[in-house]
Chains A and B, each alone.
Chain A
Amino acid sequence: MGFMNWVKHWKTLVGVSVVSAALLVSGCGGSGSAVGGSSSGGAAKSDTVKVGLLHSLSGTMAISETSVRDAEKLAIDEINAAGGVMGKKIEIVEEDGASDPQIFAEKAKKLLSSDKVATIFGCWTSASRKAVLPVVEQQNGLLWYPTQYEGMEASKNIMYMGSAPNQQIVPAVEFFLKQGKKKIFLVGSDYVFPQTANRIIKAQLAAQGGECVGEEYTPMGYTDYATIISKIKAAKPDAIINTLNGDSNVAFFKQLKDAGISAADMPVMSFSIAEEEIKGIGAQNVAGHYVSWNYYQTTKTPANEKFVAAYKKAYGADRVTDDPIEAAYDAVYLWKAAVEKAKSFDVAEVTKAAKGLTFDAPEGQVKIDGDNQHLFKTVRIGIVKDDGLIYEVEATEPVKPDPYLKTYDWAKGLGE
């Protein structure tokens, strides 16, 4: 009996020492991050870490950006449920950029200097990113940017989760050329992304044996495409590349179909239409045409099955996931991985640790490029079907991001 008592006692002793060791370790972790993290001031409690979410929750961009914000929240909830980042729960500080680049800049400043967030997930339009860029550079913050964009940028304080032009535009043009569709007509909205994209496309067509047989831009919100469609018919292209934005897409596709141009005669490749936009255009008006992205709701990976199910469970069965939504979700996990590798919340340490980091994302494995903080991404050409979803037709190997198109001979001089 005496012996058994002793055994019990011994067990308790071991238990106590294990617990205190654990406490000691976690205590060390806490103080370690306080030393490493320039951003963890008095405001940050030792068991949480603050991150900023900065998207437009009001104004014209709210529709796109709230879904992206939802994806970021989903990832944060999942991470918190699994124990947080380095044992710390993530605390969200949310700000509304109100679709106004100026407000984005102010809110970014507020998140960094008064909330002292460890990082920011945010923005959608290039205008808002360009407004936040000087703020994060000056205050040494870190922005994770979820959307595809026109390239020609690589800030050390921004992580670019969307595709660079060579991960969306270049493979799409190659897709048409491979099918023998050499005469291409370009239609776009009259602003920076379509103009930049079309400069790239024209250079590529000229170098790879294609031909640009027409190029038309319309003001934002333009509604009558009869004349442009007449010009398209007269130019007799093999295919159309479309960089229209917003409502104009609806008018363009409806009127194109009306004019008797079917996807079989003259397919259209679009860069700004994802699952969300197809609902408004009407699947029957855009079925058979192509899009180019890195991710579709139908992309077949184990991670995507889980992601789509979790997203629909959290926000409703009628919600769809699309490319930027998925990229925003990846951003949170990549940040977590970088922090854990750096064992610090410090921006310089995190970006250093992020180089070469991989993540099994819903779109397949992505990897942060050490040179420019963009992602290696698989490019998928997709076809729109009658059910309003996009199905993959062709996929590349993961493509190295090249925001300045330095590796393409024909792209010399485009960066200026």
Chain B
Amino acid sequence: MDVSLFAVAFNGVSLASILLLAAVGLSVTFGLMGIINMAHGEFIMIGAYTAYVVQGLLLKSIGDVYYFVALIASFFVAAAFGLVLEQLVIKRLYGRETDSLLATWGVSLVMQQLARSIFGAPNVNVVAPSFLNGGITLLGATISFKRLFIIALVGVTLFFVWALFYRTRYGRRMRACIQNREMAQCLGIRSDRIDSTTFALGSGLAGIAGCALTLLGSIGPSLGQNYIVDTFMVVVLGGVGKIIGAVAGAFIIGLSSTGLEFLTTASIAKAAVLFLVILFLQKKPQGLFVIRSRSLD
């Protein structure tokens, strides 16, 4: 087989960017709140369906530009759903990890069924904007514009998240809550507001991921289920709560999945990656990057 190494590397980076886009929101919520949000995949689904709805409303009138409107709309729609979920359910479950896991799993089932009732069970189709069709051939690899676009989108998204966390008052407060919640509260930070905003942000990021994934994958009620395991793996491997952790986790998993799949088969690669992650977590249960916490636990 003469698959060029460059092609394998590009596929790996592309997969890593997709995983990262799906995982960055989860990394934020998991890190800050210790909530195991099983409904994260459904926020990805909400983003994808938002793209579908926006396409239906705007494709005829403004053409390909609709896609940028859809990206922004997916963020806000998913964020709004996230806010509602936080207020109704998550808020009451802080500090109860197992309960939050079960409750959000239930929420994910409800949301899937809702999507099924509203849009019907069959997959729907989002037409990719025409300027993203096709690609260029470089060093024996086809670089598709859609995959390039997703890599760029991840870059931009990460930059905004980084700026928000490290260059704004909100970011500083949020980091204070991660490091030591009680002390932050003593200093007058409304940690409950920080929680709501952060959960909405994480959900919104999942929405963007959903909108981007319509370019490459299916849009149906069970869309989120296809990504949830991989996203958790990225977050757990990278270490929760740090953007750099999610980036490292996504790249390690993306490149090793693609490399192993190239050498063996898709099923074996999937199993092998899972096995390697388990082995790694035996050595370093907290993942690659650990947040130094000042809380006394």
1/0 contact string of A279-320 vs chain B (CB within 8 Å):
111101100000000000000000000000000000000000
Q: Which of B3, B18, B122, B219 contacts A230 (CB 8 A)?
A: B3
Residue B217 lies at the interface, judged by CB distance under 8 Å to chain A: yes
What are 10 of the A-B contact pairs (CB < 8 Å)? A231-B3, A231-B262, A247-B217, A247-B222, A251-B216, A254-B216, A258-B144, A258-B146, A277-B123, A280-B125
Pick the interface stretch among B7-15, B70-78, B153-161: B7-15
Residue B226 lies at the interface, judged by CB distance under 8 Å to chain A: yes
1/0 contact string of A224-256 vs chain B (CB within 8 Å):
101110110111000000000001111100110
**A233–B11 alpha-carbon span in the complex (Å):** 14
Interface centre among A190, A234, A254, by most chain B C-beta atoms within 10 angstroms, is A254
Interface contact A63-B223, CB-CB below 8 Å: no
Chain B neighbourhood of A15, CB < 8 A: none
**A96–B100 alpha-carbon span in the complex (Å):** 31
Interface contact B266-A223, CB-CB below 8 Å: no
Residue A360 lies at the interface, judged by CB distance under 8 Å to chain B: no
Interface magnitude class on chain A: 35 or more
Query: What secondary structure prevails in chain A residues at the interface with B?
Result: helix
| A80 → chain B closest CB, angstroms | 29
Chain A neighbourhood of B144, CB < 8 A: 255, 258-260
Pick the interface stretch among A42-50, A214-222, A391-399: A214-222
Cβ < 8 Å to B, chain A residues 26-73: 60, 62-63
Residue A349 lies at the interface, judged by CB distance under 8 Å to chain B: no
Residue B179 lies at the interface, judged by CB distance under 8 Å to chain A: no
Residue B185 lies at the interface, judged by CB distance under 8 Å to chain A: no
Interface contact B262-A230, CB-CB below 8 Å: yes
Residue B35 lies at the interface, judged by CB distance under 8 Å to chain A: no
Chain B neighbourhood of A276, CB < 8 A: 122
Chain A neighbourhood of B133, CB < 8 A: 258
Q: Which of A190, A219, A280 contacts B220 (CB 8 A)?
A: A280
Interface contact A190-B267, CB-CB below 8 Å: yes
Chain A neighbourhood of B258, CB < 8 A: 226-227
A217 and B2 in contact (CB under 8 A), knowing A223-B216, A227-B11, A259-B142?
no
**A20–B23 alpha-carbon span in the complex (Å):** 79
Interface contact A251-B218, CB-CB below 8 Å: yes
Chain A neighbourhood of B220, CB < 8 A: 247, 280
Interface contact A234-B3, CB-CB below 8 Å: yes
Interface contact B141-A230, CB-CB below 8 Å: yes
Chain B neighbourhood of A285, CB < 8 A: 125
A227 and B216 in contact (CB under 8 A), knowing A63-B122, A280-B124?
no
Chain B neighbourhood of A248, CB < 8 A: 218
**A219–B226 alpha-carbon span in the complex (Å):** 10
**A285–B123 alpha-carbon span in the complex (Å):** 14
Cβ < 8 Å to B, chain A residues 109-141: none
| A282 → chain B closest CB, angstroms | 4
1/0 contact string of B258-277 vs chain A (CB within 8 Å):
10011001110010000000
Interface contact A226-B11, CB-CB below 8 Å: yes
Determine the residue in chain B with the shortest Cβ distance to A280: B123
Residue B1 lies at the interface, judged by CB distance under 8 Å to chain A: yes
1/0 contact string of B87-105 vs chain A (CB within 8 Å):
0000000000000000000
Interface contact A219-B135, CB-CB below 8 Å: no
Q: Which of B2, B120, B125, B147 contacts A282 (CB 8 A)?
A: B125
A251 and B1 in contact (CB under 8 A), knowing A227-B258, A230-B262?
no
Interface contact A234-B2, CB-CB below 8 Å: yes
Interface magnitude class on chain B: 35 or more
Interface contact B216-A218, CB-CB below 8 Å: no
**A281–B124 alpha-carbon span in the complex (Å):** 7
| B64 → chain A closest CB, angstroms | 14
Chain B neighbourhood of A235, CB < 8 A: 1
Chain A neighbourhood of B162, CB < 8 A: none
Known A-B contacts: A250-B123, A251-B216, A258-B144. Give 17 more (CB < 8 A): A219-B267, A223-B213, A223-B216, A224-B15, A226-B258, A227-B262, A227-B266, A228-B261, A230-B262, A231-B262, A233-B3, A234-B1, A254-B215, A258-B216, A277-B123, A279-B122, A282-B125
Chain A neighbourhood of B261, CB < 8 A: 227-228
Interface contact B267-A260, CB-CB below 8 Å: no
Residue B227 lies at the interface, judged by CB distance under 8 Å to chain A: yes
Interface centre among B14, B128, B225, by most chain A C-beta atoms within 10 angstroms, is B128
Interface centre among B11, B14, B125, B267, by most chain A C-beta atoms within 10 angstroms, is B125
**A277–B220 alpha-carbon span in the complex (Å):** 11
Chain A neighbourhood of B14, CB < 8 A: 224, 226
Cβ < 8 Å to B, chain A residues 176-235: 190, 216-219, 221-224, 226-228, 230-231, 233-235
Interface contact A280-B218, CB-CB below 8 Å: yes
Interface contact B218-A250, CB-CB below 8 Å: yes
A219 and B142 in contact (CB under 8 A), knowing A227-B11, A276-B122, A281-B123?
no
**A260–B146 alpha-carbon span in the complex (Å):** 12
Determine the residue in chain A with the shortest Cβ distance to B121: A63
**A258–B14 alpha-carbon span in the complex (Å):** 13
Chain B neighbourhood of A223, CB < 8 A: 213, 216-218, 226-227
Cβ < 8 Å to A, chain B residues 216-246: 216-220, 222-223, 225-227
| A253 → chain B closest CB, angstroms | 10
| B288 → chain A closest CB, angstroms | 23
